[in-house]
Amino acid sequence: MSTAPRGSGLSLRAGLATDVGRVRQHNEDTGIADRSVFAVCDGMGGHAAGEVASQIVAETLSELADQPELTPAVITRQLAEANDRLLASVARHPEQAGMGTTAAGITVVAGGGGDHWAVFNVGDSRVYRWIAGRLTQVTVDHSEVQELLDAGLITVDEVARHPMRNVITRSLGMDPAPSPDVWVFPPFPGERFVICSDGLTGELRDDQIKAILEACDDPQSAAESLVRAAVEAGGRDNVTVVVVALDSEQPDDDVEGDTSPRGMAASTP
């Protein structure tokens, strides 16, 4: 899918793929690739409420594509609105009590005299950035194991088998609403992004994700290949992947200077 965000000179290609996996009965993930908004939501909750939660948040995030001018503050407010809609749905349908969802994604914002990326996340769904042959994780998981890792109490190798690996510390559907992380940085021609639920990262290492991404030029083929590899590796969870490629020519900046985010935007409403 090719898309050009309204009011932007960026030419983007995007692909989306999802699979229920080999263990779960329902797919509680929802992915979106809507003009300038690309995101993955990984729902949780009984009675198919996780599917409801992820769909509510995905639909709310899709509304960002109709905003005349996006800013980090607008993204933060929209995530707060999504949280309000989840709580309102639970109030109307008590059987949905406890439902929630992660949300991670990217969009195009105006700032610094030109287009910039805004990467956002709540929970442990991730956004990776590939540029100049290097894959880096932009987002930071809101999870128990990430906090243990940051505190130096466990090693990277212990994360995959830790008993708390599936416990997240922030999700949409909480009261009060959780604070999202939002990063803003400039685009670079030829870069790619992988947005995914933990059904991908729970099965594939970062180097495996990088190898598949580099083997597929087409974002749709890349998304499908990543999902297929995760299912073949075990498929113990729902798997959803959105791949975004930037093809437009941008001013020639120093590659090294543009390989990592240049700062975190304040995530205040």
100: confidence class by pLDDT, cuts 50, 70, 90: very high
* Cβ atoms within 10 Å, residue 177: 20
- Integer Cα distance of 128 and 210 in angstroms: 10
CA distances from 39 to 66, 95, 183, 226, 262 (A): 15, 27, 15, 16, 21
pTM, 2 dp = 0.89
- Integer Cα distance of 149 and 172 in angstroms: 23
Give me the helices (H) in the chain, please: 49-62, 72-92, 144-150, 156-159, 198-201, 206-215, 219-232
Residues 6+ apart with CB under 8 A from 157: none
Residue among 81, 21, 84, 28 nearest 53 (CA): 28
State residue 6's pLDDT score. Answer: 55
Q: What is the 8-class DSSP label of residue 120?
A: E
- Integer Cα distance of 210 and 34 in angstroms: 24
Block residue for tokens 């980090």: 72
Residues 6+ apart with CB under 8 A from 214: 130, 133
- Integer Cα distance of 243 and 227 in angstroms: 11
4: confidence class by pLDDT, cuts 50, 70, 90: low
pLDDT at 14 over 90: yes
Output the six-digit token pair for 41: 């939501």
60, 81 in Cβ contact below 8 A?
yes
**pLDDT tens, 212-267?**
999 999 999 999 999 999 999 999 999 999 999 998 554 444 443 333 343 333 33
Block residue for tokens 């990277």: 156
Instruction: Please give the full DSSP string across 14-60, using - where no structure is assigned.
Output: EEEEEE-TTT-SS--EEEEEETTEEEEEEEE-TTTHHHHHHHHHHHH
State residue 263's pLDDT score. Answer: 38
Sequence letter at residue 228: R
Of 199 and 161, the one with more pLDDT: 199
**pLDDT tens, 145-193?**
777 876 788 777 767 677 767 789 999 999 999 999 999 999 999 999 9
- Integer Cα distance of 158 and 93 in angstroms: 39
Output the six-digit token pair for 229: 């590899």
194, 226 in Cβ contact below 8 A?
yes
